Amino acid sequence: MQDSNRTASFSGVRAQALAPGLPRARRKTDLRRIIFITLMLLPAFAALGVFMYYPIEETFRLSLNKASGLGDTEYVGLANYLQLFANEEFRAGFINVLLWAFWSVVVQIPLAFFVAFSLTNYKNRVTRPLRAIYYLANILPSAITAMLGSLVFGNTNGVISSLARNLNITWLMKVDFLGDMRLAFMTVFIVGTWTYSGFYIVYLMARMEQIPTEIREAAHLDGADGWLYARTIVLPMVWYPLRIIAVLCVVGSMKVFDLPFLMTRGGPADATKTLGIILYNRGFRDAQYGLAAAVGVVIFALSLVFTIFQFSLQRRGGDIE
């Protein structure tokens, strides 16, 4: 409401400034204000233009060209996109990010809800440090979490592998977490779950802690405790943040790069390849900047679709009027 008032008053000032018949001194003051406001906004617009809109425009332009970076660029229209969608590796990457998004929603969100609920409703000396522990992975650099993940699942000196060897558990010794086509994706995803869930947990906890005590007490008096309380009271009350988290999960999945790249380089074969890894390989390794830009545009388009979806959810949820 306040914002709309400001906008109205600004529009009014502009209208008055341009209106004839006003005293000259007042028009001059208004003009000065407009210039002042414009000047104040200019750095932000310039920064956005240079660092955001121009690169986006350049990426779109580059995606329509064949460019190695060394030599002339050649306009090829949509050929890069056609080449991408005909490419098996790209299709694998595309499917992998969709799978990553699916599993993120199916696994990470219920897990985050469960942990957040437990930490909020069962406060004791143990749960307090647990909040920090769960969030820790989220603030660690991904290089560290990937290294820790490799340390656990690695097959030569990995924790699980060494344990299996020392305890002589033959079947476990044979499991190749990062090298088996059937396991590599889920292994990286498990490390991803550990890394990203911390944020969701903290986000949900913040909402859960806002639930008034009276509601909890009333639920308790009605016999709604534990799981029943979680399902019938808490879940509906955090439904909106859960939907936002779901969208964040999906948008983040489109761009996932660091963990699969650092843990498996996208392998074995294309098992853990993501659109981000394909973009990196084409652009930075193979000097095919046009193709890399086309991958970037696809990621951008996917993210945009899901972001629009997020906004539509917010509107329905009542946050944006």
Partner 1 sequence: MKTRRLIVLVAVVICLLTAIPGIAQGKVKLTVWGRDVLDDDPAHVSVAALVKGFEAKYPDIDVEWVALGDPGLMDKTKIQMAVGSGLPDIFQTWGGTTMGSYADKGMLLDLTAELKNIPGSAAAASAMTWKGRIYGVAPFFAVAGIFLNEGLFKANGISTKFASVDDLERAAAALKAAGVQPFACGAKDKWPPLAMYMYLTNRYGGDIFTQAAARKARFDADPFVKAATLYQNWVKKGFLGDKPLGEGYGDAQQLMATGRAALHVTGSWMCAQYSSADFTDQNLGFYAFPTIPGGKGKVTDVMGMPDIAYAATKEAASKKAAAVKFLTYAMSTEAGQADPGRIASMPGVISKSNLTKMAVAVFGQSKTVQFWWDQNLPAAITTPLNETIQTFFLPETNVKASLAKYEELAAANIK
Binding footprint of partner 1 on the chain (CB under 8 A):
68-71, 89, 150, 154-157, 173-174, 176-181, 264-265, 267-269, 281, 284-289
Write down the least CB distance from residue 257 to partner 1, Å.
14
Nearer to partner 1, 24 or 285 (CB): 285
Nearer to partner 1, 113 or 289 (CB): 289
In order, the DSSP letters of 252-284 are HHHT--HHHHHHHTT-STTTT--HHHHHHIIII
Write down the least CB distance from residue 68 to partner 1, Å.
7
In 10 A of CB 117, how many CB atoms? 22
Write down the least CB distance from residue 92 to partner 1, Å.
11
Write down the least CB distance from residue 171 to partner 1, Å.
12
Write down the least CB distance from residue 290 to partner 1, Å.
11
In order, the DSSP letters of 171-238 are HHHT--TTT-TTTHHHHHHHHHHHHHHHHHHHHHHHHHTTS-HHHHHHHHHTT--HHHHIIIIIHHHT
In 10 A of CB 140, how many CB atoms? 15
Write down the least CB distance from residue 179 to partner 1, Å.
3
Write down the least CB distance from residue 194 to partner 1, Å.
19
Classified as helix, coil or strand, 22 is coil
Nearer to partner 1, 225 or 286 (CB): 286
Q: Count CA atoms closer than 13 A to 186's CA, side-chain side.
A: 7
- Between helix 239-254 and helix 109-121 the angle, nearest 10°, is 140
Nearer to partner 1, 128 or 165 (CB): 165
Q: Nearest Cα to 112, choosing from 235, 226, 192, 197?
A: 197
Nearest-angstrom CA–CA distance, 303 and 293: 15
Nearer to partner 1, 32 or 265 (CB): 265
Q: Would you say 90 and 278 are in contact if contact means Cβ atoms under 8 Å apart? A: yes
First-last CA distance in the chain: 10
Nearest-angstrom CA–CA distance, 192 and 249: 11
Nearer to partner 1, 176 or 240 (CB): 176
Write down the least CB distance from residue 264 to partner 1, Å.
7
Nearer to partner 1, 164 or 256 (CB): 164
The DSSP letter of residue 106 is I
